[in-house]
Amino acid sequence: MNKEDMVKSVMAATGQAKAEAEKSVDAVFSAISETLKSGGEVRLAGFGTFVVSARAARDGRNPRTGETIKIPGSKAVRFRPGKGLKDAVN
């Protein structure tokens, strides 16, 4: 499913026009992004939790030359599925 499919699904479920459904989908994605940017976590009961986790800096190896390189630390978004989602998939 891509964003367009999501918009169509929201249109079918709510009876909204395409423009309104697209605004709704964009608003949800924006709210999730802003919350994660500020360091918070997003918990959707029955669906799952989005959290930001920190990756530590580490040493790596260039596979072509074998040279050791420094890989800087970064942040990554993680998703932990909730019980409702797990049950629906299984």
Give pLDDT, residue 14: 93
Give pLDDT, residue 59: 95
Give pLDDT, residue 54: 94
Smallest CA-to-CA distance from 53 within 76, 35, 20, 31 is with 76
* pTM higher than the cut 0.75: yes
Give pLDDT, residue 26: 96
Give pLDDT, residue 11: 95
Give pLDDT, residue 17: 95
The fold adopted by the segment(s) 3-89 is HU Protein; Chain A (4.10.520)
3-state helix, strand, coil in the chain (%, to 5): 45, 30, 25
Residue 64 CB partners (closer than 8 Å, separation 6+): none
Give pLDDT, residue 86: 94
Residue numbers of the chain with a pLDDT score lower than 50: none
Q: What pairs with residue 75 in β-bridges?
A: 54
**What is the spatial distance between Cα 82 and Cα 15, in angstroms, rounded to a whole number?**
28
